[in-house]
Structure 1
Amino acid sequence: MKLELLASFFLLTTCFTAFSQEKQDTAVADKGLIKVSVMYPYAEGKTFNMEYYVTKHMPMVAAFLGANLVKYTIEKGLASGIPNQPLPFMAIGTFYVKSLSDYQAAIAPHGDAIRADFQNYTNIIPIILVSEVVN
């Protein structure tokens, strides 16, 4: 029994250490990247078609970014961090790019097409935050 507990502890410690190292490696790899977060606030009567966003809109925008794009993520809002409070965002799409000026240059000629595509998945005006990953 004691040996089994030690083996389980060793396995858990090894897994935790590997997970922690992976998280640190990811943080180091992302440091210095420009993060463009497109946030869709929740409001009564607003709609959001996640399937379209995942399969059409985000891949379209990602294609415009070319080699400057490192990765992108899509988040579906589930709940507020405060119990019994409304959901703050229905969805958040995030692009991680190497250069802000390259991002802006790539997006500028396609701005009308990107905005026109909104009607295919939402009636929400997004909030956009551009930031630098510091850790």
Structure 2
Amino acid sequence: MVKLRNIQRISKVFVESIIGFYILAVLFGAPFLSHFLATFIFSIVVSIVSVLPLAITIKDFDEFEKVVLNCRPTNRYQLLAHRFSLGGVIGAWSGAIVIPLDWDRWWQRWPLPCIFGCLLFALIGFIVSQFELHTRYRVLNCQSRKIV
């Protein structure tokens, strides 16, 4: 059962990440006040995709350092959260490539390409993590138990 302290910690990290992604998006060139709602929705989507899975699976800063900074998840859930989050962040960043092109299409308007990229690459990260779980981790578990 999820404890109240964990819910408070996850909520705090989630709200802080929304603010952080909003500031980061503005620093990368997103409209500050003219498209406030669009930028705010973008920061919410990126926070849901990239921070929430990590906040749920990681309990303290030492684990955060091990999973996110050193890319060494300790269990299946952390591997899934790490790949999903990494895909979401890379997708949000790479989705901005089509914004400055002068095609004048509906899907080029801020923040749609970044949101689409975030969700698409998060899905790719999920697929990659499932592939890793079914190949590499199965081999590692068998070797550690001396089955192979």
TM-score (norm 1): 0.28
- Higher normalized strand content (fraction of residues): 1
- Higher normalized helix content (fraction of residues): 2
- Using CA pairs below 8 Å that are at least 6 residues apart, which structure has the higher relative contact order? 1
